[in-house]
Amino acid sequence: MIDNETAVFGRLQQSLIVAVLILERVEDAVPVAEALLEGGVDVMELTLRTPAALGAVREIRNRVPGMLVGVGTILNVDQISQVLDAGGNFGVSPGTNPRVIEAALGAGLPFAPGVCTPSDIERALEFDRKLLKFFPAEPSGGLKYLEAIGAPYAHLGVKYIPLGGVNPSNCNNWLASPLVGGIGGSWLASKPLIEAKNWNSVREAAAYAIAIRDGVYRAKKV
């Protein structure tokens, strides 16, 4: 499991941009995944907030092999096996539930729990979790807050994926932080775009996010 987790999370941290989606219809899964991939975004998280989510994961895994597909909003132990059965590459939760983390690790599912406080971080570290979802990112204090609570654990190599309020106007600041191992963006494939089947706009949003990412890292190298 460790080797698989290293490969999966290594790819996520190399890509840095994670499209976060809520899908109401399974038939939208492949077109939106293809549009994101054409725009350069090859990691996505489908949230378990609708009955279509797991079916959408199966469709993407079967028909869009270039996409790394994670599953978010994992809230209970039973969902771990459901995610694995659907072919999910990794799991994410909004909080730090020890029972869910333990079940994910026992089942071999690469897993990133959600944190918002130092106590959350320490609870995750008990399970050797070094890639954590920071949620809700902007409402809880943004990058300044993350830098404050993350400082005591930086020497351990902990990285965070902020989600919640991250958007095109602030994602460059998040990406520039050494604490950030990727950003989650729901704007990349928003509900209105999906409902309208506006795959061209999804493609353009993905390409724009990739351009911001590449610009940040070119600036870092100067």
CATH for 2-217, options being 3.40.50.10890, 2.60.120.10, 3.40.50.620, 3.20.20.70 = 3.20.20.70
DSSP structure class, residue 183: E
Residues with catalytic roles: 45, 133
- Residue-level pLDDT at 221: 62
**Residues 7-32 pLDDT 10s:** 999 999 999 999 999 999 999 999 99
- Residue 132 phi, psi dihedral angles, 5° rounding: -125, 145
* Mean pLDDT per 10-residue interval, the chain, length 222 residues: 83 97 98 98 98 98 97 98 98 98 98 98 98 98 98 98 97 97 96 97 98 86 57
- Residue-level pLDDT at 75: 98
CA proximity to 139, closest of 163, 155, 122, 117: 163
Domain range summary for the chain, segments of one domain joined by +: 2-217
**Residues 119-136 pLDDT 10s:** 999 999 999 999 999 999
In angstroms, the Cα distances linking 59 to 28, 39, 135, 200 are: 10, 19, 28, 20
For 47, half-sphere exposure in the C-beta direction (CA atoms, 13 angstrom radius) is 19
- Residue-level pLDDT at 1: 45
